[in-house]
Amino acid sequence: MTSKIPAPDKAIRGPALTFTGDPFASGVEDTMVYEPDAIVAFGGGVITHFGPADQIQSQLPEGIEIENYGPDALISAGFLDSHVHFPQTPMIAAFGEQLLDWLNKYTFPTEKKYADKAFAASVAKVFLEENLKNGITTSCVYCTVFPQSVDALFEEAERLGMRMAAGKVLMNRNAPDYLLDTTQSGYDDSKALINKWHNRGRLMYAITPRFAPTSSADQLDSAGALWDEFPDCYMQTHVSENLDEVAWVKELFPDRKGYLDVYDHSGLCRPRAVFGHGIHLTDDELSCMHHTGCAISHCPTSNFFLGSGYLDVFKVTDAKRPVRVGLGTDLGAGTSFSILATLNEAYKAAQLNKKALTAGHAYYLATRGTARAMYIEDKVGSIAPGMEADLVVLDMKSTPIIDYRMQFAEDIHEALFIQMTLGDDRAVQATYVAGKLQYKQATSR
């Protein structure tokens, strides 16, 4: 957290939700905080006050503007998305394939277009607008093999003041020639981008081997060496998403114990490593993730869309060797920018594993849980003085059927579950980024 808290210059009022810890470890009752009438004040990009309105109001400077969203709102920390491909925005909802064929038929031809910086910039603008419209204030983003695609995304994120991690895809084999780099060029381009963008304002760099099949062992080793040079960067890649992919990795790396060991052997299993999917990881691999401090990004919408399977989030977070877990939309195999829609799918994935994902667990994943997976829970993901003022305001009666259903909600847990089952981008009234209103719904109630 920020050590010196500035004076507030703006405040918002309404019901508020946040988490003080991990409900997977300590239970929802001990970690979820719900204030039915709260004030959140902020200044200088950080939260200065938070608590019951009748207590906080007297602590604020005279004349401060307080935006009252009313009793049908919900103020939350901004949502986080730990796994998303911004270049796939133009191909969201592409029909009919499973992972490997889908990459070849749709993804790679689309990513070719990002050699054109102007095209990349136009997509980055749409992508980040959609993020804000859905209350997403931080993402961990895959760009393309072309460095200019990273520049395009970071330039727009910087303009908006967003906390954003992203990186150039490393990919030197098993893809079309027009998308391949080399071990050396991938290293050089990534290093130049790190020097240009990492820790520039709220921007963070993620070293990004696409996945083991499209990088040689030499390129993965190079990624590990680069991370040694810049240890506070992220590393993001995919693991054990699809059974055919797992089998292919075994063919390509016969000397390794399994898929995760390919990465571990190259020094890519450590804190700030975010592995997309992880559906088919073994118990030994989950233990390795626990001991090395890696995180899994749970991407249920994408997993169902491509028929990949469904992650057992309760197995992953088992108290005997818990692994950090964040939430990912995984566009464009994911079919929605909406975190609420993604939580709907996460609930279904849990059901297929004979488990029930409560609303408290789900909203934790969308906020503090993903911040923890990204090792930035000291900066974002919660509402507390000193935290960065990234906030989303939901309308809890955003559609006629939700309005009707909410009449019968008996408590906040049921109300939250209704939102994650029936809600979408229409539920987002406002999104604040570092205390600045960056999205306001034109037709909010």
Share of the chain above pLDDT 90, in %: 96
Record the tokens describing residue 219, joined without a space.
């390129």
* pLDDT given for residue 3 in this prediction: 57
Which of 96, 99, 130, 162 shows the shortest CA–CA distance to 336?
130
In angstroms, the CA 63 to CA 11 distance is 11
Express each pLDDT in 37-76 by its tens digit.
Answer: 999 999 999 999 999 999 999 999 999 999 999 999 999 9
* pLDDT given for residue 443 in this prediction: 67
Average pLDDT over residues 268-294: 98
Average pLDDT over all residues of the chain: 97
Specify the DSSP element, H or E, that contains 392.
strand 391-395
* pLDDT given for residue 419 in this prediction: 98
* pLDDT given for residue 99 in this prediction: 87
Residue 1 pLDDT > 70: no
- Give all domains of the chain, ordered by start, each with its CATH number: 10-77+382-440 (2.30.40.10), 79-337 (3.20.20.140)
* pLDDT given for residue 444 in this prediction: 47
Express each pLDDT in 372-391 by its tens digit.
Answer: 999 999 999 999 999 999 99
Express each pLDDT in 163-207 by its tens digit.
Answer: 999 999 999 999 999 999 999 999 999 999 999 999 999 999 999
In angstroms, the CA 44 to CA 361 distance is 31
Q: Is the pTM of this model over 0.85?
A: yes
In angstroms, the CA 223 to CA 211 distance is 12
Residue 414 pLDDT > 90: yes
* pLDDT given for residue 297 in this prediction: 98
Which amino acid, one-letter code, is at 399?
Answer: T
In angstroms, the CA 397 to CA 423 distance is 9
Tell me if 87 sits within 8 A of 142, measured CB to CB: yes
Tell me if 362 sits within 8 A of 374, measured CB to CB: no
How far lies 5's CA from each of 44, 54, 275, 322, in Å? 8, 21, 34, 33
In angstroms, the CA 313 to CA 331 distance is 20
Euclidean distance between the first and the last CA atom of the chain, given in angstroms as a whole number: 34
Which of 213, 144, 215 shows the shortest CA–CA distance to 183?
215
Q: Is 93 helix (H, G, I), strand (E, B) or coil?
A: coil
